[in-house]
Structure 1
């Protein structure tokens, strides 16, 4: 389900947002906007749907931290697939952790990649992009999960506002029984699936269990307004 843009930014004052760049791509419109200054808050909107901004980032960091904590401590240099790049908090968090091995990031929007490489979001992700462990995969996450040969120790997925609030209808397939089965196949035995959501979803927890995942749980983080952000966690049985 695609929803209209909702202005939930907790920072940036009452000044109207400034459009930094607007692009049309194969998946529709993507916009980078700036609010306020000192510091400015940047936000990404896709097809009129608010995705994320740089105001906080705690839950995006939790996405990576929770996945790593759920892995066996003895597992050497675990690999992680982050989807997508967003404003870069999850990637920056992963690169700041020396325990991670390969860090692959799937992002389908060339505009988002450019905003990180040469645009204002490089302030968040610049060091992480320069890390030799980091690889950017310019492709669609759903397609990658279904067709890739690679397997990872952790999948950290944040391409929608949650399994019940997708940016495009095509993303629904990621949370379907077939999509969750594909996610399971992309994981090593004992690997962790972590899915960010703007709200808890009991039906998604049940879908994870029905897809054969173990250790299903939800971690919450309080936000300035509304229900908590959450990270849904599940483990592929060893």
Structure 2
């Protein structure tokens, strides 16, 4: 969220840039003081004050990986919090691919958000691939030890309609095929979804649901992370 000082003094919100979406609509990068926010309409998708659940998406997965040379795929660059947590959690022999569909997001990472990203994109373990993560998954047969998805507000196509391909039955089967045995598909969501859990299980995953507390726009809320382990 974009914070207001304790003394109640209003700080103006500045529109830094706009990213056009493939389906129409826009992402807006906003700043108020030292706080940044990426928004779609009235929905905050990412803010530099609200990072815990995005970091947990990576740390929860990395705690469960056993191979020192694990290869993971992150869907969505965002503000780099998931990537940063993965870098801190993985050894030097691991490899991290980040798939980002929207070029402006990468531009922001090297521009107005560079102080938040730090040297994440310069890490030799990290490859930024400008592509739809669905396409990367579809090409990667048993290629990944983990796939981390934070490309929308949950398992739907709110921001980009084509994201629904990731969460439908055949999209989940593609993710299953892209994972190595016992590999993990992890999905961030702003809400719970029992039907989605059922689809994960039908696609051959053993599902663990983790609730992570967060504060968004001054409200205490719960984000959901699904950790779905590939079953043979």
With structure 2 as the length reference, what TM-score do the two structures score? Answer: 0.88
> 8 Å contact 1:96–1:128 — kept in the other structure?
no
Question: In structure 2, which of residues 74, 77, 82 is the aligned counterpart of residue 82 of structure 1?
Answer: 74
Does the residue aligned with 2:164 lie in a helix, a strand or coil? helix
Distance 1:55 1:129 in 2: 21
1:103-135 C-alpha deviation (Å, 9 max, x unpaired): 100111111101112x12111223111110000
- TM alignment of 1:67-146, pairs within 5 A: 67-72=61-66, 75-99=67-91, 101-117=94-110, 119-146=111-138
- TM alignment of 1:80-229, pairs within 5 A: 80-99=72-91, 101-117=94-110, 119-148=111-140, 151-164=143-156, 166-214=158-206, 216-224=207-215, 225-229=219-223
Q: Aligned-pair distance for 1:182?
A: 0.7
Q: Aligned-pair distance for 1:25?
A: 5.2
Q: Label 1:25 to 1:219 Cα distance change in 2 as closer, same or farther (>3 A).
A: closer
Q: Aligned-pair distance for 1:153?
A: 0.4
Question: In structure 2, which of residues 222, 228, 232 is the aligned counterpart of residue 234 of structure 1?
Answer: 228
Question: In structure 2, which of residues 18, 21, 40 is the aligned counterpart of residue 22 of structure 1?
Answer: 18
> 8 Å contact 2:205–2:228 — kept in the other structure?
yes
1:49-75 C-alpha deviation (Å, 9 max, x unpaired): 532111120000100011112223xx2
* Structure 1 gap ranges (5+): 1-8
CA RMSD of aligned residues (A): 2.0
Q: Aligned-pair distance for 1:162?
A: 0.5
- Aligned pair count reads 223
Distance 2:214 2:41 in 1: 24
